[in-house]
Structure 1
C-alpha cells in the first residue's frame, strides 16, 4: 500500500479529520507528521501558554495514534525541507493537510502545495477548522462582511455542517524505521514551569475535548444565555483551547448540542452556536483584512492619541496589580490557569484601552503569550471590538466602568475573592472599590494598592477627549 504524509497542525484529532480521511479514502498508509516551525508564523509565533498546551496535545495525539497501530512523527522545520526529507524516507506519493488561515501561513502553505505538485506529488488541503471557509460568505455586493449580524444571518441560511466522521479503530502500520524526535526535543515546555497550575484545570487532547463537551452539555449549557457573563460561575463551555488546537471540530460540537436539544435548552443552544459564529466571523475578517492583526480596521484610529505606555503601569496591568479588583482578578486568573472568563476579558481590555489609553496591541500580545486559547482571529476581533477600532466594534465612547461591571457580573464578590484572596476578608460591597475605605483596606490587605493606578473618572474623561480629537461624536 502506498504511503501519504498527513501533516498535522491545528487539527490535533483523529475523528472528523478531513486530511486523515482523504489519505485513507485514497488507499494510502498515513504517515502522521507534525513539523515544528514557529519561525514561519511571522510575528505571531505561538506564545508560551500555547506552546505548553501543544506539548501535551502532541503527546496525546501520539498516544491515540499508537493505540490504533500508528504513531506521530515529529520533525523540526523549516517545513518544506522537513516534508521533502520525509517524502524521500518513506517514498510517500501524497501529502494531505487541513488549512490554516493566518496571514503568514496561507502564502506559505500555497507555496508548499505548488512546489509539491510541481514535483509530481499529490498535495491536497481541506477545511478541518471552520463551519464556513472565510471566502464562502459575501455581502450582496460581493464583498466581505464587517458587521456580525448580517454575516451570521447569511451563515445560518447556508449552513451545511459536515457529517461527523469517526476515525477507524485501527490504522495501517507504518515503517518502524521512520525516525521521529521526542516531543521534549521541540522545546515547548516552559522553564521554569510557570504553567504548572494549568493542568489542574485543563486536559489537552481529543479525549479532553470530548469530555469538556459532555461536561458542558450536562451542566453549564442549562442557563447558558443568562449565566455566561457571570464571572463567579462556571457558565461557559471551556472548549476554546480545544477548538483552537483542533482537538474537536466545531461541527461535532454543534451536532452534539443538537442531539441534546430540548424545549427547555433550545435558546441556550442557539446562544452558544451564535458564539461559534463569532469565531467564524473573526476568521472571515482576518482573511479579508489581514493587516488587522496589527493595525486598526477603522482608519480613523490611525491618528488616535494613544498614551505612551509606562512600563511600571503596563506591568501592573499584566500582573493584576492595578488596584481595581475585578481587573486584577481577571489577570491573575489568566496567569494561574492560562484562561480568563470572557466577561473579564472585556473588562480588562476596556481598562487597558480606555482608562490607561494604551494601544490594544499591548494587551493582545500579552494575551497571545499567556492564553492557552490564543487564537489570532479571535484575539484580534476581541481586542479591536473592545477598543472600538475594528469591525462591528463597541463605540469608543462606551467605556466599561469596572466597578459597575463587577457588581453586575460578580455580585457576591466571589470571583474577586478567589483570584485576589487578600481582599476576601473585606465586606462584599467593599471588594468592588476598596479604595473608598482606605483604612479598612490597609488593615485587611496591607500589600494591595491603596488606589487604582489611574483614577477611573480621570481615565474615562481623557479617553473621551482623545476620541473627540479623531472626529468622534
Structure 2
C-alpha cells in the first residue's frame, strides 16, 4: 500500500535542506499542508507577517510548478490536522520542529495526540537546543564559550532537494495566502527560495571578503540581507554555514587567503551562531519572551513610566539625533534596520529615555520584516544589560560619536533617511543642533521647525542613566 504523508509546513518554505519534505518524498506520496494560525489573521498584520505571506505565496507557486497543490487552511492546527489526515486518508504526518515556546508546546501536543505515526525533524538551526552544553551539562550563558564549542561541533550538511516528489493529486480547492501589498512589499522582492539562494551566492562572491571591514557601516551595501529569508525558512542556516565554508576553500585554492578574509568569514558565521545561541537560551528560559530580565537584579531597575509623546518621537524618528532618526525612519519605511543602528536606537530608548526595553522589543516585533523571536528578545536584553552575556548598562552609546564613527565619510546614511538635513556640511550632519545659525540658514534648516531639537541632552541622559543603575544596585543590596 502506498504511504500517504502529510507534510506540515510552517516557516520552512524551501525545497533544499527541508528534512520533512526530503524524507516524505522518499517514503511515499506527499500531501503538502500549510495552516494559518488564528493569531496571524486577526487585525493588522505585522511586517514580518506580510513578508511571511509573500514567502508563502512564492512557495505555493513553486509547489504548483512541480505538480503539487499546497493545501492552506485557517484554523487551529491541533483541530484541523486530524481532520485533514482523515479526509486525505493519510497514514503519516511529517513536520520540522519549531523552537518558539508556544510552538514547542503545539508540536508536542500534535506528536502526542495524532493517531497516525508522526516524524519530527530538526531543521531551523545549526544545532538543536540541548546539544551544546558546558562541562556541567548546562547551557552556555556566554556567547564566546558557546561559539568555541559549536565551532568544533559537526554541523550536519544540508540535505539536497528531493530528486523526485510524488504529490497527492488532491481534489480540494487550494486557497490563496492572505497578502497585503504595502510599501514593505516594494522593498523586498518576493522571490522565495530562489531569491534567497541568489542573495547568498552574490554575497559570498562579492562581499564576504570585506564583510568584517564594512559590516558596521549602514550607508554601505556590505551585509547579506538574508535575515528575512532565514526567518521565514526560505534558506537554511546549515546551507549558509556550509556554503560559506566551501567559498573559503574554493578561494583558498585560487589564491592565498588574507587574514582579513578569514576574519570576515568568521564574523559572518558568528551571526548565524548568535541566532543559535539565542534559541538555545530561549529553550531553557522561555519566560524571557514576556519581558522578565534574565538577570534578576534588573527587576528593581527604576524605569521611567512611558510617556506616549516621547515614545512616539522615538518611533517616528524625531528625537533630534540624526543617526537614531535615520534608523527609525528606515525601519518604518522598509521594515528593516541595519544591525549597528538597531543597537544605537535601542540603546537610546533604554538608556537615554529610560523606557523599559520591552516597549522597544514590542515595536521591533511589529515593524521588523525579519523579526525573529529569539534574536529580538536576546538583542534587547543585550542592549539593556539584562541578559547573561550583555553589554553592561553603564556602557552608554553616545549617538553623536556613534554616527561619526559608523556613518563616514559624509553621513550618507543620515542624508538618505533624514533628507531635511542633506545639505548640511558634514561637520554638522551628526549633530545639527550645534551648527551655527548661518550654516543652518544656508541649508534651509530651522531647528525645532524643519528638524527637532534633541528631546534629551546626552550628558544629562547619561548621568541620569548611571544614577538609575546605581540606585538599582543599592536597592538590590538592601533587599
Matches within 5 A, 1:21-420: 21-26=22-27, 28-39=28-39, 48-116=46-114, 119=115, 121-168=116-163, 170-184=164-178, 188-189=179-180, 195-261=182-248, 262=252, 263-264=257-258, 265-293=261-289, 294-411=291-408, 412-420=410-418
Q: Distance in 2 between matches of 1:454 and 1:233?
A: 29
Distance 1:377 1:450 in 2: 34
- Classify 1:471/1:29 alpha carbon distance in 2 versus 1 (closer, same or farther; 3 Å): same
Q: Give the conservation status (yes or no) of the 8 Å contact 2:40–2:49.
A: no
Name the SS for the 2:93 alignment partner: strand
Which residue of structure 1 aligns with residue 470 of structure 2? Answer: 468
Residues in 2 aligned to 1:198 and 1:460: alpha-carbon distance in whole angstroms: 39
Structure 1 position 40, deviation (Å): 8.8
Deviates more, 1:198-207 or 1:400-409: 198-207
**Residues 50, 374 of structure 1: 8 Å contact kept:** yes
TM-superposed deviation, 1:198? 4.1
Cα offset, 1:278, TM superposition: 0.6
In structure 2, relative to structure 1, the CA distance for the partners of 1:322 and 1:91 (3 Å cut) is same
Alignment check: 8 A CA contact 1:198 1:336 kept? no
- Alpha-carbon distance in 2 for matches of 1:358, 1:253: 36
Shift of 1:73: 0.9
CA RMSD, 1 decimal: 2.0
How many positions carry a matched residue from both structures?
459
Q: Which whole-Å CA distance do the structure 1 matches of 2:461 and 2:162 have between them?
A: 54
Stretch moving more, 223-232 or 151-160: 151-160
378 and 174 in structure 1: CA distance in 2 versus 1, 3 angstrom threshold: same
Offset at 1:183?
1.3
Q: Is the 8 A contact 2:218 2:338 kept in 1?
A: yes
After TM superposition, give the deviation of residue 260 of structure 1 in Å. Answer: 1.4
Q: Please, which runs of 5 or more residues in structure 2 have no aligned partner? A: none
* Alignment correspondent of 2:8: 7
Is the contact made by 2:155 and 2:238 (CA closer than 8 Å) also made in structure 1? no
2:427 corresponds in structure 1 to 429
Q: Give the deviation of 1:65 after TM superposition.
A: 0.8
Q: SS at 1:53's partner residue? A: helix
1:452 aligns with 454
How many Å apart are 1:266 and its aligned residue? 2.4
SS at match of 2:276: helix
Contact 1:242–1:248 (8 Å) recurs in 2 = yes
For 1:295-351, what per-residue CA distance to the aligned partner results, in whole angstroms no more than 9, with x for missing partners? 110101100001111101111111111111000000111111111000000000000
Could you tell me how far apart the structure 1 residues matched to 2:154 and 2:440 are?
A: 54
CA displacement, residues 114-138 of structure 1 (integer Å, 9 cap, x when unaligned): 001xx2x011111110111111111
C-alpha distance in 2 between matches for 1:329 and 1:36: 34
Equivalence for 2:19: 18
When normalised by structure 1's length, the TM-score is 0.93
- 254-263 or 415-424, which deviates more: 254-263
> Is the 8 Å Cα contact of residues 99 and 129 (structure 1) preserved in structure 2?
yes
> 1:298·1:391 contact (CA, 8 Å) conserved in 2?
yes
Distance 1:202 1:320 in 2: 25
Q: Distance in 2 between matches of 1:458 and 1:438?
A: 22
- With 219-228 and 427-436 compared, the bigger mean Cα shift is at 219-228
Is the deviation greater in 141-150 or in 200-209?
200-209
1:92 aligned counterpart, secondary structure:
coil
Q: How far did residue 197 of structure 1 move? A: 4.5
Q: Distance in 2 between matches of 1:469 and 1:133?
A: 40
CA gap of 1:77–1:331, structure 2 versus 1, over 3 A, is same
Check 1:204–1:381 CA distance in 2 against 1; reply closer, same or farther (3 A cut). farther
How far residue 72 of structure 1 moved from its aligned partner, in angstroms, is 1.2
Contact conserved, 1:353 with 1:359, CA < 8 A, in 2?
Answer: yes
How far residue 405 of structure 1 moved from its aligned partner, in angstroms, is: 0.4
- After superposition, the C-alpha distances for 1:185-239 in whole angstroms (9 at most, x for unaligned) are xxx52xxx5x325433443510111111012112221211111001111111101
Detail structure 1 runs of 4+ shifted over 6 Å in the superposition.
Answer: none
Contact 1:322 1:449 in 2 (8 A): no
